[in-house]
Amino acid sequence: MKTYQQAAPLPGTGEQARTVPRMNLLRDIRKNKYIYLMLLPVLIFYVAFHYAPMYGAIVAFKHFSPRLGILGSPWAGLEHFRDFFEGPYFWRTFRNTVTISFYDLIFGFPAPIILALLLNELRLAWFKKLVQTITYMPHFISLVVICGMIKEFSGSNGLITTIVQSLGGPKESILLLPEYFRTVFISSGIWQQVGWGSIIYLAALSNIDTEQYEAARIDGATRWKQMKHITLPGMLPTIVILLILNLGTILNVGFEKIILLYNPLTYETADVISSYVYRIGLQELNYSFSAAVGLFNSVINFSMVIMANWISRKVNDTSLW
C-alpha cells in the first residue's frame, strides 16, 4: 500500500505571503521614518476635516434640530429625498447643473490642452514665456474680483454688452437675461483657468523623448503629423486621468461663482444643485433637506468616477486605480 506525504507549501504562499508585505512595510517605515512623519499632518488633516465629518451625513435621514443634536433628532427616513425628487425645483436644478457641467467639459476641458499644444509649437522662448504669464495671471485673481469685473463688463454700458449690442444683441445687461448666463459663466471660467490648467499638460510634454521628434523629422513627418502621432499620444495618460477627475465633479458646479453672478431673473438657467442647497440650508435653515440634496449630489459624482475609471481601464489600461 502506497503512502503519500503532504506536499510542503511553496515559498511565498499562505501565511508567509501575507507576512512578507507587512514586514516590508514596517522595514520601510523604520528606514524612512522622517518622510512618513512629514506625511502625518496631511493624514491628520484629511481624517479631521474630510472623513470624521462624514458621520453628519445621517442628517439627511433625520428631522434635524440644533437643540436635539444629530443623534437626538428623530428619524425621517427617505422623506427629504422624496420631497426633493417630487419638488418643483428638482428638474430645473438638475438640468442646469448637468447642462453647465456638460458645456464646461466640452469647451473648458480641451482649452488647456489646446493652449499647451500651441505653446509647445512656439520657437521664440521670450514670446512663449510672455503668453504663459498673461494666461496664468487670471488664476491668481480673487473670484470675488473676477465676478465684480464680469458684472462691470456685462452691465448696461459695459464692454461685453457694447460688443453684443454691436452684433445685434439686446441693449441691456446680459447678466439679467437667462439665455446669456451660461455663455458668460463658461467663457469667463475658461479665461480664468486655461493658463493654469495648461501647466500639467506642459509638464507631460516635457517627458516625451525628443529623439522621437528627430526620428519623425528624418522620416519626413510634418509638424502636424508629429503632434498627431507623438505629442498627443504622449499626453494621453494625463488627459485620461484629468478627464476621470473632471467627470467625478460633473455635478459640482462652483456655487460661489453662481451665487455671485445670478439673480432671481436668471434662476431658470443659472440655479444649480449647489446654489439650491445653499439657499435651502443656510438661508431657509432647512438643514436636513439640504443635506439630502447634497448627499444625492455626492453619490452621483462618486458613481461617475467609478464608471469613468472602469471604462478607461477597459479601453486603454489607464486609470486612477
CB 320 within 8 A of CB 241: yes
User: What integer best gives the mean pLDDT of the chain?
Assistant: 83
The angle subtended at Cα 85 by Cα 80 and Cα 86, nearest 5°, is: 95
The angle subtended at Cα 252 by Cα 251 and Cα 257, nearest 5°, is: 130
Give the pLDDT score at 51: 86
Question: What pLDDT band is residue 111 in, cutting at 50, 70 and 90?
Answer: very high
Query: What residue type is assigned to position 15 of the chain?
Result: E
In DSSP terms, 62 is beta-bridged to 75
Give the pLDDT score at 17: 52
Burial grade of 53 (CB within 10 A; 0-12, 13-18, 19 or more)? exposed
Whether the pLDDT of residue 208 is over 90: the answer is: no
State the alpha helices, DSSP H only, in 56-136. 69-72, 79-86, 90-103, 110-121, 125-136
Whether the pLDDT of residue 239 is over 50: the answer is: yes
In DSSP terms, 69 is beta-bridged to 65
How many separate helices (H) and strands (E) can be counted in the chain?
17, 0
- pTM of the entire structure? 0.77
pLDDT digit string (tens) for 5-52? 444 444 545 555 556 667 787 888 888 888 888 988 999 998 998 888
CB 131 within 8 A of CB 122: yes
CA distances 80 to 70, 202, 253, 279, 297, Å, are 16, 46, 22, 16, 14
Give the pLDDT score at 233: 86
Give the pLDDT score at 18: 58
Give the pLDDT score at 44: 93
Q: What is the largest CA-CA distance in the chain?
A: 105
pLDDT digit string (tens) for 165-174? 888 777 778 8
pLDDT digit string (tens) for 283-302? 788 888 888 888 888 888 78
Give the pLDDT score at 114: 92
CA distances 66 to 80, 128, 298, Å, are 17, 56, 24
